[in-house]
Amino acid sequence: MREEWIFADKHLSKISISSNPNNEPVSIHGYSDHLRCIGLGTDAAVFQSIDVPAYVFKMYADDKIQKVQIEGKVYEVLGDSPYFSTCFGYKNNYLVLNFEEGPTLYDCLIQGIPIPKQVIEDVDQAREYVRQKGLNPRDIHLKNILLQNGRAKIIDVSEYVQPGNDFRWENLKKGYDHFYHLIEGKPVPLLLIETIRKRYNHRRNYSTTGII
């Protein structure tokens, strides 16, 4: 482990993560003024080090730490790709990743930032690349895709070892093709997005196809 990661590890040890039911974001316990939380997921939180901002640390909830090694191995298989971040290593409860700039597609909808068609094409190409590596591109959604200079960057690969198709990307792509032109460049109310997300997740729990 590099010296700067060891420095960050001292501050990460002051924090713990717990998961929540109903596919809600994790909760953070503890605090360090050397870390800035830049992302919350249903399994993990992502922190950027104030002292070494080129790196981020994806810390998993205590009951999800088995995913750390799984995701680390996925990054090893994916190798160097423009579609994904770089994983430099991992410890017992977190991964060390390259800091990636840019808003998520979720943020783009809230802020009214246009999402170009190229982003959709990039994700399709990234999914094909994942399949060529013998993995399964699952769990691709608005919060897992960054907009970087008009291109897509996918920032969560933890479910690529799981079988089956969750249809999340297919549904998003369908929505983009049929409806996005109606709201392009216009901020979408957070309450509306969250209502759709919760209803979608609820229906996924009772559907084998995941189609809304």
Tens digit of each residue's pLDDT (9 = 90 or more) over 142-171: 999 999 999 999 999 999 999 999 999 999
**How much of the chain, in percent, has pLDDT values that exceed 90?**
82
pLDDT at 202: 61
Q: Is 180 a residue whose pLDDT tops 50?
A: yes
pLDDT at 206: 46
Confidence of residue 204 (pLDDT cuts 50, 70, 90): low
Contacts of 182 (CB under 8 A, 6+ apart): none
Mean predicted confidence (pLDDT) in 26-47? 95
Lowest-pLDDT range of 7-11, 36-40, 43-47: 7-11
Strand partners, 19: none
* Side chain identity, residue 187: P
- Over the chain, what is the mean pLDDT? 91
Mean predicted confidence (pLDDT) in 16-41? 94
pLDDT in tens, 127-140: 999 999 999 999 99
Mean predicted confidence (pLDDT) in 65-72? 95
Cα separation, 66 vs 82, whole angstroms: 27
pLDDT at 178: 95
Mean predicted confidence (pLDDT) in 89-99? 93
Please state the pTM of the whole predicted model: 0.88
* Side chain identity, residue 144: N
Nearest-CA neighbor of 49 among 61, 65, 37? 37
Three-state secondary structure readout of the chain: CCHHHHHHHHHHCCCEEECCCCCCCCEEECCCCCEEEEEECCCEEEEEECCCCCEEEEEECHHHCHHHHHHHHHHHHHCCCCCECCEEEECCCEEEEECCCCCEHHHHHHHCCCCCHHHHHHHHHHHHHHHHCCCCCCCCCHHHEEEECCEEEECCCCCCCCCCCCCHHHHHHHHHHHHHHHHCCCCCCHHHHHHHHHHHHHHHCCCCCCCC
pLDDT at 7: 78
Cα separation, 15 vs 62, whole angstroms: 11
Confidence of residue 211 (pLDDT cuts 50, 70, 90): very low
Q: Is 205 a residue whose pLDDT tops 60?
A: no
Mean predicted confidence (pLDDT) in 176-202? 87
Mean predicted confidence (pLDDT) in 184-202? 84
